[in-house]
């Protein structure tokens, strides 16, 4: 078998433009960068603007600028149609997600669902909550024989572990993160995923879709999210977590590195320290 060379290491940073980067997202960006650059790999920047209600175009430019200001450069993904600074945008990839959605449907791994949060709160079914705080879908529509298109709300994945998560919201046409992340990581040849540990709960969802589509499983490394003094995850709207420019840049990078050193496995820190010193000193 061909030995994997370093040039096969591919990672990505995939922010959602629902706000500018904050200290917590800078930590993930830095970790993603160090993780691949310590092995001479490539880092893609993917803007996860698939949530049409919450994503805002003005944050996209800001996020890119914040990355550049902090010395976190991404590699150029070839956008053939027009120059887009080597970045991919999920909002422009609906046709690709549709293709894989139809394929899953052809394998009978999806179903249309007319339940809403409100209707679920009123049902007689026992409601169980997932660790993420989401409702574990009680499978009401899973075996329905007929559909009424005007009433359907979502297309769900037929899972094997009673977690029939949403693939697409039909009211907006938006695809869900748990689905698009699998498609894009595969199409971008991503071998290593570095993301916040608030997304741990999506691993099983990712793996189920990957297994059915025959995609390899990238290695996933979760970075403990940054919390405030009350133990709450930093929010994009919190003034205190906002990134600043100029003389604060170096301080913010140092703070991010300190967080990684405190929270990441020592073998990983050892691996990436020379890269950190090389790029950020
Ligand atoms: N778009 C997600 C976020 O901003 C990150 C997803 C990922 O890294 O897989 O929280």
Residue nearest ligand 1's atom 9 by CA? 195
Query: Mean per-residue pLDDT for 34-63?
Result: 96
Q: Which of 26, 45, 196 to mutate to test the pocket of ligand 1 (most atoms within 8 A of CB)?
A: 196
Higher pLDDT, 73 or 118: 73
pLDDT in tens, 172-205: 999 999 999 999 999 999 999 999 999 999 999 9
The atom of ligand 1 lying closest to the CA of 185 is 9
- Output the CA 17–ligand 1 centroid distance in Å: 10
Given the structure tokens 């040849």, which residue do they identify? 189
Q: Is the distance from CB of 10 to CB of 42 less than 8 angstroms? A: yes
Top mutation candidate among 14, 35, 63 for ligand 1, by most atoms within 8 Å of CB: 14
| More confident of the two residues 235 and 73 | 73
Taking the CA of residue 32 as reference, the ligand 1 atom at the shortest distance is: 8
pTM: 0.93
Of 257, 251, 236, 259, the C-alpha closest to 21 is 236
pLDDT of residue 150: 82
Note the pLDDT of residue 113.
Answer: 95
Q: Is 15 in the pocket of ligand 1 (CB under 6 A)?
A: yes
Q: Residue 55 burial (CB < 10 Å; 0-12/13-18/19+)?
A: buried
CA of 82 relative to ligand 1 center, distance in Å? 25
Helix, strand, coil percent values for the chain (each to nearest 5): 40, 15, 45
Alpha carbons 60 and 15: distance in angstroms, whole number:
9
The confidence score (pLDDT) of residue 81 equals 62
Q: How many whole angstroms from 194 Cα to the centroid of ligand 1?
A: 9
Ligand 1 centre to CA of 55 (Å) is: 13
Residue 252 and residue 220: Cα distance in Å, rounded?
Answer: 25
Which residue has the CA at smallest separation from atom 6 of ligand 1? 14
Paired tokens of 56: 């805002």
Q: Is the per-residue pLDDT at 80 higher than 70? A: no
- Whether the CB-CB separation of 279 and 37 falls below 8 Å is answered with yes
The verdict on the CB of residue 16 being under 6 Å from ligand 1 is yes
Distance 198 CA to ligand 1 centre (A): 10
Q: Which atom of ligand 1 is nearest to 28's Cα?
A: 8
């Amino acid at each position: 078998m061909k030995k994997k060379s370093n040039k096969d290491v591919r990672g990505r940073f995939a922010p959602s433009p629902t706000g500018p980067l904050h200290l917590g997202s800078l930590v993930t960006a830095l970790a993603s960068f160090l993780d691949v650059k310590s092995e001479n790999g490539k880092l893609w920047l993917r803007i996860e603007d698939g949530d049409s209600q919450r994503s805002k175009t003005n944050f996209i430019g800001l996020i890119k600028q914040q990355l550049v200001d902090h010395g976190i450069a991404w590699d150029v993904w070839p956008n053939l149609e027009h120059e887009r600074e080597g970045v991919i945008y999920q909002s422009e990839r609906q046709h690709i997600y549709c293709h894989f959605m139809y394929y899953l449907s052809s394998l009978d791994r999806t179903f249309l669902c007319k339940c809403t949060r409100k209707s679920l709160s009123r049902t007689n079914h026992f409601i169980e909550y997932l660790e993420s705080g989401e409702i574990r879908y009680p499978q009401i529509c899973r075996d329905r024989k007929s559909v009424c298109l005007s009433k359907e709300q979502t297309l769900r994945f037929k899972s094997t572990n009673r977690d029939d998560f949403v693939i697409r919201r039909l009211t907006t046409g938006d695809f869900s993160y748990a689905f698009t992340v699998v498609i894009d990581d595969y199409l971008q040849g991503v071998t290593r995923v570095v993301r916040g540990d608030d997304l741990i709960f999506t691993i099983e969802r990712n793996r189920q879709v990957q297994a059915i589509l025959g995609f390899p499983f990238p290695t996933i490394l979760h970075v403990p999210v940054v919390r405030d003094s009350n133990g709450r995850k930093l929010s994009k709207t919190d003034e205190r977590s906002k990134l600043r420019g100029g003389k604060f840049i170096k301080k913010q990078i140092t703070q991010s590195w300190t967080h990684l050193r405190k929270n990441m496995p020592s073998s990983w820190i050892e691996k990436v320290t020379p890269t950190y010193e090389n790029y950020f000193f």
